[in-house]
Amino acid sequence: MDEINVKTILSGVQPTGILTIGNYIGAIQNWKLLENEYKCIYPIVDLHSLTVRQDPKQFKDLCISMLAQYLACGLDAKKNILFFQSHVRQHTELAWLLSCHTYLGELSRMTQFKEKSEKHRDNINAGLFTYPILQAADILLYQACKVPVGEDQKQHLELARDIAIRFNNIYGKTFVVPEPHVPQMGARIMSLQEPSNKMSKSDTNINGTIFLLDSDKVTLKKIKRAVTDNKNRISYNDNQLGIKNLMTIYMTLTKESIREIEEKYTDKGYGAFKNDLAEIVVENLRPVREKYAELMDNKDYLVSIYKDGAEKAGEIAENTMKKVRDNIGLIK
């Protein structure tokens, strides 16, 4: 089958820590809904993580942990292709070819480069600057028509689209031009302490982030400490960002509507709401934590998953690269 005609959706996450409830609600739960409609490809993008210095032993553990977290969250390895980016050599091959079709000015406009350069002033390396080209290669290599993307990654997806269009115009139709796939609900979970900022696993304030592997006690404490306001009114609006964020978590985990939640807590304050939300979150995350522990005790199974995933991904990637090499004029 010609991979260019297959509806493929792709998204990658760096193995730099424990996934958050924001990743779970905003990404993985939505990915599960796509399993029967798309060919779903989810690389663990370990090469992207190397723009920051990593401890080798710890990094290996983080990579395996990320795969186990994916599976613990319910991703079906039979319906999704899960693998490590570094195990498919075509990622870096295509990245070099695309770098020859990407302009310096395009890369210099990337806001994430500017932000990360501020954070890592002692290590502003070339990889940090060319990172979006490898990201474009990740997407275009699999002819992905859709890419689940948050607001912070839209600029990178636009660059991938521009590169694909440019390449197609020069060498003929080679790549599918990807479109963003933004879920309507739960796509952006905010920090519990700074609800104007997205929840992040790298947040220096750990109270702002609920991690999937947090204990029940820690989860309860973080939700009860979540920033709200002095209105004590359960209402979903932009003037109450803290409670709006908590309601988004409640809504996506229970499938109750905004109106149902508002009516349920009409005569109740934030304390009652937070107590109930904490129980809902704990009950949803406890099975994930238990499954994760089970998977981490079965490393042979995890190895079989990432090897099988890399083999499947490699076949698709090589089909694309044969076309790229031929179109660009490289000798077989």
* Catalytically annotated residues: 116, 198, 201
Beta bridge partners of 147: 180
From CA 52, how far away is CA 61, in angstroms rounded? 16
Pick from 151, 225, 222, 239: nearest CA to 188? 151
HEC states along 281-306? HHHHHHHHHHHHHHHHCCHHHHHHHH
Which positions ≥6 away from 99 have C-beta within 8 Å? 130, 133
Long-range contacts, 231-237 (Cβ 8 Å, 24+): 232/269, 232/270, 234/261, 234/262, 234/265, 234/266, 234/268, 234/270, 234/273, 235/262, 236/261, 236/262
Write out the DSSP string of 212-280: TT--HHHHHHHHHT----SS-----STT-HHHHHHHHHHHHHH---HHHHHHHTTT--HHHHHHHHHHH
Query: Beta strand pairing status for 179-181 and 146-148?
Result: parallel
